[in-house]
């Protein structure tokens, strides 16, 4: 393809990151799929990606990055720079969910969650942005969530982390736009991935046993989620993979600040986005930024 991009994706061992890595490489882009433990816990996933690359003759590479470790992030980014000379697009996808009574999560659990979901993208940005500036531009995509705008019970710490990602991404976008670096926040709805099974559960999970009314609410919510999954009412993860490919291939002038994907979030989340954009515009003008 004529407009081949050099793309770094975090959290590429499963879910959206894995699917997007393969789809973008198949489209002719140069993709560095990063993950923890490609020679250890994720060895099988890393090898499957290598096999995919070999069979299709795709420019798909595996790089080890743990977004919670400064040295790992720096090393992974430098490996990509040394191999292909730059990074056009960073997709901040690595993340983990939570599922359970908010009171049951320990402070250390929540700290660890924020280290991955919120500080992780900041580490990645600090490593990548100097290279983008030297190149005269770039593009950062954050895989956020519809839960970055709305709330449900039993998802509190995760929701808080995605609200934080939304704030960091938008605030950073104002600072990066004058440097020729674009930002998009992708907001998926609920999808039939391994989100719940891979989520962090509260260490003090037994607390809910002393709260029968809350336990009944949790049981009903979990049952409703499971029923929607079994009946096919959750979205197809391919929608998010397709959205990431679409964003990568958009002309620079068409890159949106936010993109909402999923039937369950299109109405409520887009409505919040539109109103917030109006308010933000007024505030920025008030302080002379626009």
Kindly list the averaged pLDDT for each block of 10 residues, start to end, along the chain of length 290. Answer: 88 96 98 97 97 98 98 98 98 97 98 98 98 98 97 97 98 98 96 74 97 97 84 85 98 97 93 97 94
Supply the pLDDT for residue 227: 84
Supply the pLDDT for residue 193: 54
Q: What is the Cα 57 distance to its own chain's centre?
A: 27
Strand partners, 70: none
Active site residues: 158
Supply the pLDDT for residue 76: 98
Ordered structural domains, the chain, with CATH: 6-208+235-265 (3.40.50.720)
Residue 264 Cα distances to 1, 6, 150, 228, angstroms: 35, 32, 12, 11
- The Cα 226–Cα 233 span in angstroms is 10
- The Cα 163–Cα 167 span in angstroms is 6
Neighbours of 79 (CB within 10 A): 16
Q: Could you tell me the pTM of the whole model?
A: 0.96
Answer whether 86's CB lies under 8 Å from 56's CB.
no
């Amino acid at each position: 393809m004529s407009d081949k991009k050099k793309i770094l994706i975090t959290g590429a061992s499963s879910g959206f990151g894995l699917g997007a890595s393969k789809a973008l490489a198949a489209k002719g882009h140069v993709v560095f799929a990063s993950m923890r433990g490609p020679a250890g816990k994720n060895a099988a996933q890393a090898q499957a990606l290598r096999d995919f690359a070999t069979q299709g003759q795709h420019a798909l590479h595996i790089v080890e990055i743990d977004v919670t470790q400064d040295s790992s992030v720096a090393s992974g980014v430098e490996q990509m720079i040394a191999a292909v000379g730059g990074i056009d697009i960073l997709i901040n996808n690595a993340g983990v969910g939570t599922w359970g009574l908010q009171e049951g999560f320990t402070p250390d659990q929540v700290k660890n969650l924020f280290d991955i979901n919120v500080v992780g993208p900041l580490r990645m940005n600090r490593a990548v942005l100097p290279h983008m500036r030297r190149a005269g531009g770039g593009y950062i995509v954050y895989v956020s969530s519809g839960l970055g705008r709305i709330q449900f019970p039993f998802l509190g710490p995760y929701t808080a982390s995605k609200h934080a990602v939304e704030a960091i991404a938008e605030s950073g976008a104002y600072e990066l736009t004058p440097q020729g670096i674009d930002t998009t926040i992708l907001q998926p709805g609920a999808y039939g991935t391994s989100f719940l099974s891979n989520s962090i559960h509260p260490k003090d999970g037994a607390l809910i046993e002393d709260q029968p009314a809350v336990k009944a609410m949790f049981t009903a919510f979990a049952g409703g989620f499971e029923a929607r999954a079994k009946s096919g009412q959750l979205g197809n993860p391919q929608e998010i993979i397709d959205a990431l490919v679409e964003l990568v291939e958009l002309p620079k002038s068409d890159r949106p600040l936010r993109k909402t994907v999923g039937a369950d979030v299109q109405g409520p989340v887009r409505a919040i986005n539109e109103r917030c954009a109006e308010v933000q515009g007024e505030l920025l003008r008030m302080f002379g930024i626009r």
